[in-house]
Amino acid sequence: MFMSTKQERQLVIEKSEKILDCTIKQLDLEFYHAFSNVLHDYIMVTNPSKNIDKKMVLSELIFMMAEDINRAEPLKSYTTGELARIFGVSVQAINKWIDEGRFLGYKRMGGNRHNRIPDSLSYTTRTGEVISIREVAAMYNTHNQSQDVTGVNPQEHRDAVIDEITRFMRKYGGTYEMTLGTKGERTVPEDRDSSIWIALLDELRDINEA
């Protein structure tokens, strides 16, 4: 559920320019610019597909953030087990990705291993591509391509991952780096396949390194 009401978000939009530009900007210009840059980066991280002008002032960024919330669905979050099913990897791989900081903006809260990861965050692959968790979940729900590794021994799981990678190689006629990895503009099905293929390659590396 949203913590703020639509009326509160509208109030922020209406007052932000007057309050922020006429007070914070005048009292502490350095902080004003720093806050603007941090908010800009946060919007870019949580909405990687957005094209945001770096010259936008703080009030415009707040307006954009509030409008995004108005259009958004209530926040959904996932356990590591749920993310493992969505990405088609093991829970151990998800925990490793968390520790490596590959879920952008997420940090464990203390020693609690039952933290939930919101789908508004993004995941960065080993190749540097950024994909929102919401997009990956939508792909999983629509196409059911991920695999549940529960009850499968490590060798069987490794063989299954290799089989899936081989299927993509046959489909596109080469490795990921030779095909989708170098393609500038991809179709929606190719984007879906790219995300799944990358996750499979990441999982195979994690298995081999274990």
**pLDDT tens per residue across span 170-206:** 999 999 889 988 887 777 678 778 878 888 888 888 8
Q: Are 136 and 191 within 8 A, CB to CB?
A: no
Cα–Cα distance, 33 to 136 (Å, whole number)? 34
What pLDDT does residue 146 have?
41
Whether 48 has a pLDDT exceeding 80, the answer reads no
Domain ranges of the chain: 6-71, 77-209
Q: What share of the chain is helix, strand, coil (3-state, %, to 5)?
A: 60, 5, 35
pLDDT in tens, 79-104: 888 888 787 777 888 888 888 888 88
pLDDT band at 147 (very low <50, low <70, confident <90, very high): very low
Residue with tokens 């009850």: 151
Residue with tokens 């953030």: 65
Whether 123 has a pLDDT exceeding 80, the answer reads yes
The first and second tokens of residue 127, run together, are 């190749």
Cα–Cα distance, 186 to 154 (Å, whole number)? 33
SS3 103: strand
State which of 130-139, 151-160, 174-183 shows the largest mean pLDDT: 174-183
Question: What percent of the chain shows pLDDT beyond 90?
Answer: 4
DSSP string, 111-172: T-TT--EETTSEEE-TTS-EEEHHHHHHHHHHH------TT--HHHHHHHHHHHHHHHHHHH
Least confident of 24-33, 122-131, 149-158, 175-184: 149-158
Question: What percent of the chain shows pLDDT beyond 70?
Answer: 80
Cα–Cα distance, 161 to 188 (Å, whole number)? 23
User: 105-113: long-range contacts (C-beta < 8 A, 24 or more apart)?
Assistant: 105/42, 105/45, 105/46, 113/80
Cα–Cα distance, 199 to 46 (Å, whole number)? 20
